[in-house]
């Protein structure tokens, strides 16, 4: 099953294309899509799939191994100050955003 890796940054701490490249580097290039910018320097997404375009299995043993690689990727120090989500690609119609807004979307604590 394919997944989508979503990276979100704040206005005060934007994300550069180079930083995105560093974050996704551990995911083999043939097993991810090019970066799609949803809002330049603030939000982007990358498709991640267990098979390359020729149907060849990835370097991962199974989907859990793929997910472990991605978890290590998003836990890297260069991924700090970002909100990162890995969501299944299937049935991914955006209807509602739920978010912990403190420090990412707004700069003060709120109730």
Lowest-confidence segment of 5-9, 14-18, 49-53, 78-82 by average pLDDT? 49-53
In the beta sheet, which residues pair with residue 94? none
Residue 44: per-residue pLDDT: 95
Over the chain, what is the mean pLDDT? Answer: 78
Q: Residue 28 CA to chain centroid, in angstroms?
A: 14
Q: Given pLDDT bands bounded at 50, 70 and 90, which one contains residue 31?
A: confident
Q: What's phi and psi for 74, nearest 5 deg?
A: -80, -15
Q: Given pLDDT bands bounded at 50, 70 and 90, which one contains residue 110?
A: low
Is the pLDDT score of 25 beyond 80?
Answer: yes
Q: Given pLDDT bands bounded at 50, 70 and 90, which one contains residue 57?
A: low
Q: Distance between CA atoms of 110 and 74, rounded to whole angstroms?
A: 26
If residue 3 lies in a helix (H) or strand (E), which one and from where to where?
Answer: strand 3-8
Structure tokens at 42: 């603030």
Per DSSP, the three-state class of 93 is coil
Triad 23, 3, 73: Cα angle to 5°? 20
Q: Given pLDDT bands bounded at 50, 70 and 90, which one contains residue 88?
A: confident
Is the pLDDT score of 66 beyond 80?
Answer: no
């Amino acid at each position: 099953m394919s997944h989508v890796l979503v990276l979100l940054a704040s206005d005060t701490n934007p994300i550069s294309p180079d930083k995105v490249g560093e974050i996704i580097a551990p995911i083999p290039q043939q097993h991810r899509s090019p970066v799609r910018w949803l809002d330049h320097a603030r939000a982007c997404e990358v498709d991640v799939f267990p098979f390359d375009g020729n149907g060849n299995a990835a370097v991962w043993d199974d989907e859990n191994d793929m997910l472990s690689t991605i978890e290590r990727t998003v836990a890297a120090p260069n991924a700090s100050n970002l909100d990162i989500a890995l969501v299944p690609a299937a049935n991914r119609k955006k209807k509602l955003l739920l978010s912990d807004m403190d420090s990412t979307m707004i700069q003060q604590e709120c109730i």
